[in-house]
Amino acid sequence: MDKHIIVLANSKKYSNRCVAGIEVNRGENSNWGVVNNEGCPKWIRPVTNTEHGAIPTSYAQNIHILDVLEVKGYSPSPNGYQSENATYQTLRKVASIGLDQDNLNFLVDDQHRNIFGNHGKAVPLENVNLLSYSLMMIRVEWFQPFLKQYEGNSQGQLRGRFQFCGHAYDLPITDLSFMRDCNVNRRYSPAYLCISLGEQLKGWCYKLIAGVIIT
């Protein structure tokens, strides 16, 4: 089975990549239409059969956010709350969509009023299996990247501040292109963010900003 996705996450995962996007179908007028699942856009996260499922960097280096990829040999491979996981044979760019708010608004999750069930930076392990999803696209009125310094880390960690549905968030940024090109401490307005729920670490599953789109 083959699928198509609009790439909304192309982020660092250990020394490789995590790529994910929303499923689309080509309509009669050749436009791409979003596939929905219970009122929300349907996500697909291509994974490999390695320990963490990451895609090799060499394979993903020419993949960019807003590319449309053909996921050839799509086979669902859900892993608990990461229900979007699917193995594949090849990934191939077939198109891209424009950086336009009208396009992006169709991709936004307007069903959930918080991020993965709470307003914090992570979900405790005892609650994570209550979730059936680990990816969402949100629109925020402002977004500000900043460097947080840690002892023993001279470079610091790039994180992003924003508000969503009246609550403040502060999460790590893993979008490699944005990490390379952003202006630290600049306030961007508006912004579209792909939020991902990562693997378990010391009893918590941490929220990550896996894709940043500035219009």
Domain residue extents for the chain: 3-100, 105-214
Is residue 26 predicted with pLDDT exceeding 90? Answer: no
Counting residues of the chain whose pLDDT is more than 70, the rounded percentage is 99
Residues β-bridged to residue 125: none
* Torsion 71-110-18-12 (CA) sign: positive
Tokens of 96: 């891209």
Record: fold of 3-100: OB fold (Dihydrolipoamide Acetyltransferase, E2P) (2.40.50)
Please give the torsion angle defined by the CA atoms of residues 184, 187, 193 and 195, in that order, rounded to the nearest 10 degrees.
Answer: 60
- Phi and psi at residue 105, to the nearest 5°: -65, -25
Nearest to 214 by CA among 131, 113, 125, 145: 145
For residue range 150-174, what is the model confidence (pLDDT) as tens digits?
876 777 899 999 999 999 999 999 9
Residue-averaged pLDDT of the chain: 92
The sign of the CA dihedral 114, 115, 121, 127 is positive
pLDDT for the residue numbered 61: 83
- 122-151: pLDDT as tens digits: 999 999 989 999 999 999 999 999 999 887
For 137, the 3-state DSSP assignment is: strand
Q: What is the pLDDT of residue 149?
A: 87
pLDDT of residue 29: 77
| 30, pLDDT greater than 90 | no
